[in-house]
Amino acid sequence: MQPWHHDSSNSTSFLFSTFLVTGIPGLESGHVWISIPFCIMFFMTLVGNMTIMTVIWQEPTLHMPMYLFLAMLAASDLGLSLSTFPTMLRIFWLDARELTFLACFTQMFFIHTFQVLESAIILVMAFDRYVAISRPLHYSSILTSPIIARIGLVIVVRTLTVQVPLPILLKRLHFCRSNVLSHSYCLHPDIIRLSCSNTRINSAFGLFVVLSTMGLDFILILLSYVLILKTVLGIASGGGRLKALNTCISHLCAVILFFTPMICLSMLHRFGPRLPSHIYVAIANMHFLIPPVMNPIVYVVKTKQIRDKILKLCIKKGSEEV
């Protein structure tokens, strides 16, 4: 893709009409083989999250706060996967790397929107666990259906409020240094790095978005677990303490899967040694691709009610087919 340029009395600007996304640096020759595990992951993500959403939707006994928040998490995971996997598979299968500005900005908007949604849902699930452990007798009266609907609305409004300005602010930039992105999909920090315009506003707003959403969510999740531990330590019996903590394991896994790669990537970019580019790409892929695959597996393995209902649904479908 050759850039076109125009001359003015003061300067020569090189402007690109498309971005080029990147596969896995240094492993281009093996892209077809690499696509196989990614296809399996994508299939597992679709099946796992859609199964959880279907089971919770169809089973009235699962219309409880914990499972409704889990359905929200599954929907967010599904959205994140549909925003990332197709572009990656296009690169691996067809070496189709070009994305128009509109396509790139749209993908970026959806990736970051579902990322922030997931962060907020994981925070709300931490609050759900705190209420369930500290106020078990009032759990149903505190987290009623109208309250859950309002929480869902607040999450969506907060997310859209901070995400809608991102593509709008990007549209005013010129891109002349290069049009090659360092990931297999469009991310905000990656895009503004290529601009030859003044990106101070974009960088500042991007940092504000990260700190006011995922950064704040992570701190509030830690605070929730401090309060949960304080409550658990006040339980007299060892068995009761273990049972209370056991209800948090699935959620703790979701927290670790979502936040660990993001924090590692942020720390490496700012304070770590300069590592090969494929290391950064691998960690970024872990952050965006692993949680949607693993969250359904963790919740199915650790939640007996979900397991039983999935089994019941499979048996019902099997008997209908016979």
Could you tell me the CATH number of the domain that includes residue 257? 1.20.1070.10
Q: What is the pLDDT of residue 238?
A: 76
Q: What is the pLDDT of residue 270?
A: 63
Does 2 reside within a domain?
no
Q: What is the pLDDT of residue 2?
A: 42
Q: What is the pLDDT of residue 262?
A: 83
Q: How many domains, in total, are found in the chain? A: 1
Does 3 reside within a domain?
no
Does 1 reside within a domain?
no
Does 5 reside within a domain?
no
**Spans of the chain, pLDDT less than 70:** 1-16, 28, 269-273, 317-322
Q: What is the pLDDT of residue 273?
A: 64
Does 239 reside within a domain?
yes
Q: What is the pLDDT of residue 244?
A: 83
Structural domain for 255, as ranges: 18-321
Does 13 reside within a domain?
no
Burial 96-106 (b: 16+ CB within 10 A, else e): ebebebeebbe
Q: What is the pLDDT of residue 1?
A: 43
Q: What is the pLDDT of residue 6?
A: 43
Task: Please state the separation of Cα 245 from the chain's center in Å.
Answer: 25
Q: What is the mean pLDDT of the chain?
A: 86
Which long-range contacts (C-beta less than 8 Å, at least 24 apart) are formed by 253-258?
253/294, 253/295, 253/298, 253/302, 254/73, 254/122, 254/125, 254/291, 254/295, 254/298, 255/122, 255/126, 255/221, 257/290, 257/291, 257/294, 257/295, 257/298, 258/118, 258/119, 258/122, 258/287, 258/291
Query: pTM here?
Result: 0.89
Q: What is the pLDDT of residue 3?
A: 46
Q: What is the pLDDT of residue 45?
A: 94
